Amino acid sequence: MTETIPPVIEIRNLHKAYGALEVLKGVDLIAPRGNVVSLIGSSGSGKSTLLRCANLLEDSQQGEILFEGEPIKWRGTGAGRHPADKAQVTRIRTNLSMVFQQFNLWAHMTILQNVMEAPVTVLQRDRHEVEKSARGYLEKVGIGDKADAYPAMLSGGQQQRAAIARALCMEPKALLFDEPTSALDPELEQEVVRVIKALADEGRTMILVTHDMRLAADCSDHVIFLHQGKIEEQGPPTQLFRSPKTERLQQFLSATVAA
């Protein structure tokens, strides 16, 4: 018998609240190895919160989170629930590289130094090996000639591509994108979209929170539509975008196209 490979990330019945505000109301998510899962929905639907819970940047109050079949260990319950094993959290986070809406590059470091910093300081990898890898990833995202520049010298699209190179240099098991193009104007947005599509074509595991329906349609293996903290509809992109079943998704897609 062949052993089933567990998903890179699996979330079961996740609940998250900020005080009395319930943001996630029992959400499930599976990100199999090599698949792209996109999260779409209106602002406030819980997309970014779900992503931050998956990366353990936010504590959830109920539900399970598994990384490659390994469950997160928790201490406490409800609002007092927190991860019980700091070493487990650190190990898992280093395997889930996050790309944020804002680029979060260190202004006092060159682009190359930004990309190299975490692998050298967090993973304790050899500096010369990391530099070779970092330069390769900068070439991959199309800004190899900007290695010695500082973030302020780059356009927004170039800075976001540098942030993607930084995430890749950690050699993660999965990439998590939180609205990676929403801070960019349309022309610069396409630079980043091309990079994300190329990564999807390579078969990288990704969870993508996006407002760009074309990107979600082109890149995804599975799309989840969140509405008011619940999964309203999910399935392959062809199904969701061409034949939405729920009235709420139909309204959302109509408004998105109109915009």
Mean residue pLDDT of the chain comes to 94
Contact (Cβ atoms closer than 8 angstroms) between residue 174 and residue 92: no
pLDDT at site 259: 53
Contact (Cβ atoms closer than 8 angstroms) between residue 236 and residue 224: no
Fold classification of 9-95+172-258 is Rossmann fold (3.40.50)
- Strands of the sheet containing 70-71, edge to edge, are 21-31, 9-18, 62-67, 70-71
Rounded Cα–Cα distance for residues 158 and 184 (Å): 10
Query: Which of 7-11, 84-88, 252-256 has the lowest average pLDDT?
Result: 252-256
Whether 101 shows a pLDDT value over 90: the answer reads: no
Listed residue (212, 203, 181, 191) closest to 36, CA to CA: 203
Q: pLDDT class for 182, splitting at 50, 70, 90?
A: confident
**Beta strands 222-227; 230-235: pairing state:** antiparallel
The whole model's pTM is what? Answer: 0.93
